[in-house]
Amino acid sequence: MVEMLVDGQPGESIPADDRGFLYGDLLFETIAFHDGQAPLWAWHWRRLRAGCERLGLTAPAEDLLLEECRRVAVGKRCVVRATLTRGSGGRAYEPPVEPACRRIVQRRAWPSDADRFRQEGMRLVTSPVRLASGSVIAGLKHGNRLEQVLAARHCAELGADEALLYDAGDRLVEAIASNLVIVVDGRALTPSTDSAGVSGVGLAWLCDQPGVALETVELTAREVDRADEIMVINSVAGIRPVTAVDDHHFAIGATCRAWQDLWDAGVEI
């Protein structure tokens, strides 16, 4: 049973001079597979292709990458991470003029707590880690994730399920591995990822659904305190309610449950 492919061949390693390893010079997608199918593939491919254009990477053929993902996707539910690095070469930070991009596809187990979190909700803390804002790579699922690593370390130390991340200007950006939706006075609001954070596939799918009214605005801790509902969403675990942020508790609301039903009908095949 193949768990990892490197440029289409079974393998468990990459060269030590790969630029993704050396500099985080890569893009990746974390894709949910259900019985060998990826319901959100179109959104993942759209983001990967856009990221390649911004970073100057050569995107692989879509059918080739999808076929490689399917080769490692085994079982009723699993997660496949598809990574595209700039490959080897170049002079220090300066990349090669014609990079030979490297594809790495690997299977991961389905997160064991995803279903429980969707039903019972998640407890969040406010992270002391502040995300850099105004970055030229804002919105991309790139390989420079050290801010998230530090935030996850702090979150685990406190025994929380997730964390809220703000930027240096105290603007709410995202959770560690998910986008955020906050319902305030009947309005569903989500922070912009134009200057920090990741433009998530799960959130993009939700925004494309008929009847979903979701506003992208600037948010601060004030809106968190005033929220009627808070949700976290990513392409694997789906839409999960937040029941606490630090010492502030929240009910699981009707908007969350309605969107979960929408997700179940459109994504959980």
Q: Which of 68, 162, 174, 223 is catalytic?
A: 174
* pLDDT score of 269 more than 90: no
Query: pLDDT tens, 2-46?
Result: 899 999 999 999 999 999 999 999 999 999 999 999 999 999 999
Note the pTM of the prediction, 2 decimals.
0.96
- In the predicted model, what is the mean pLDDT of residues 59-86? 97
* pLDDT score of 164 more than 90: yes
Confidence of residue 103 (pLDDT cuts 50, 70, 90): very high
The reply to whether 30 belongs to the active site is yes
Q: Which of 141, 162, 193, 223 is catalytic?
A: 141
Query: pLDDT tens, 106-159?
Result: 999 999 999 999 999 999 999 999 999 998 999 999 999 999 999 999 999 999
Q: Which of 30, 126, 147, 243 is catalytic?
A: 30
- In the predicted model, what is the mean pLDDT of residues 220-242? 97
pLDDT of residue 228: 97
Query: pLDDT tens, 168-210?
Result: 999 999 999 999 999 999 999 999 999 999 999 999 999 999 9
* pLDDT score of 89 more than 70: yes
* pLDDT score of 82 more than 90: yes
- In the predicted model, what is the mean pLDDT of residues 46-56? 97
* pLDDT score of 1 more than 80: no
The reply to whether 76 belongs to the active site is no
pLDDT of residue 268: 76
H/E/C letters for each residue in the chain?
CCCEEECCEECCCCCCCEHHHHHCCEEEEEEEEECCECCCHHHHHHHHHHHHHHHCCCCCCHHHHHHHHHHHCCCCEEEEEEEEECCECCECCECCCCCCCEEEEEEECCCCCHHHHHHHCEEEEEEEEEECCCCCCCECCECCCHHHHHHHHHHHHHCCCEEEEEECCCCEEEECCCEEEEEECCEEEEECCCCCCECCHHHHHHHCCCCCCCEEECCCHHHHHHCCEEEEEECCCEEEEEEEECCEECCCCHHHHHHHHHHHHHCCC
Domains of the chain plus CATH, in order, are 4-110 (3.30.470.10), 115-266 (3.20.10.10)
Q: Cα 65–9–103 angle (5° rounding)?
A: 40
The reply to whether 141 belongs to the active site is yes
- In the predicted model, what is the mean pLDDT of residues 229-251? 97
